[in-house]
Amino acid sequence: MVTAQPVKIGQLRMAELVASALRDRILAGGIEDGSTLPKQEELMAEFGVSHPSVREALRILETEGFVTVRRGNRGGATVHAPDIGTAGYALGLTLQAMRVTAPDLGTALATLEPLCAAHCARRSDRRRAVVPHLKALLAESLRHIDDGAAFTRASRDFHDAIVGFEPNTTLRVVVKSITSLWSVQEEAWADAQVSRGAYPSRTDCEAAQHAHERLVASIAAGDADEAARIAGEHLTATQRWVNRTLRDRVVDAASAASRARFRRG
């Protein structure tokens, strides 16, 4: 007869308390992103706990994505403060697990991104802080207008920027998470279409470029209603192309390409 090993409730409880304290410090900015946590011996002394408790605390934080633990003589725990990319990745995994399709994701984006465009147009500093950056992205997408995959990526950077200028922090985090996830789907679609010789024509790309130019002009003019209208119509038109191929495709958040996009924030 095999006797079950007793669960060390006290040890686990202490590990959770240590993990909670370190988590709070990271979230409060007391431990900066990219820095290294104190050595395990130092944490043991600070919290008055055993080595197994500290080791378990680091395992908890690593599972949650707050640290990456390197083993060996030159090891340590590197801190990863949560950011928009973290939020987008978590949202994407949730939607993928729920078997949400690309068109469903696109509908959410087409509902929310025009609101961000309108808010950009209402910013008092839009001519200084928003418009020059958007015009630079317009120039970049125009430079790639004859290269379908590159044009799509440059265009998605433009949309990411629109949302990135949203002044409301909560809305910016939520919509940018959705935008990043949609970018993964659209960029994968573009690569596939180019490989099959089925990417939209130059005329279609010029129409998308023109929509972006009109959107920037409306933001510069401070016309929030027009900015929202143009953004909504353009997103609907673009998604019509993408959804022809991705109609029943579940969103992808777990692939290497997806993780790379989320790391860009």
Q: Which residue has the tokens 């995994």?
A: 93
Considering its fold, how many domains does the chain have in total?
2
pLDDT over 70 percentage in the chain = 93
The pLDDT, as a whole number, for residue 254 is 84
**pTM metric for this prediction:** 0.80
Least confident piece of the model among 6-10, 20-24, 71-75, 194-198: 6-10
Q: Is the pLDDT of residue 78 over 50?
A: yes
Q: Which CATH number characterizes residue 208's domain? A: 1.20.120.530
Q: In this model, does residue 197 exceed pLDDT 60?
A: yes
Per residue in 94-117, is it b (16+ CB within 10 Å) or e — as a string?
ebbeeebbbbebbebbbebbbbbb
Contact criterion met (CB below 8 Å) for 102 and 242: yes
Q: Does residue 1 belong to any structural domain of this protein?
A: no
Q: What is the average pLDDT value for the chain, to the nearest integer?
A: 91
Q: What is the pLDDT of residue 5?
A: 47
Q: Are residues 45 and 124 in the same domain?
A: no
Nearest Cα neighbor of 162 from 205, 126, 203 is: 126
What pLDDT does 262 receive?
74
**Together in a domain, 154 and 174:** yes
Give, in order, the Cα–Cα distances in Å from 16 to each of 22, 36, 232: 10, 20, 46
**Cα–Cα–Cα angle for 53, 8, 23, nearest 5°?**
35
Judge residue 90's burial from the number of C-beta atoms within 10 Å of its C-beta, 0-12 exposed, 13-18 middle, 19 or more buried. middle
Q: Please indicate, yes or no, if residue 121 is contained in any of the structural domains.
A: yes
Domain assignment present for 241: yes
- Domain of 13 in residue numbering reads as 9-79
Answer with the residue of higher pLDDT: 141 or 259: 141
Average pLDDT, integer, range 57-77: 84
CB 184 within 8 A of CB 258: yes
Q: What is the CATH number of the domain that holds 54?
A: 1.10.10.10
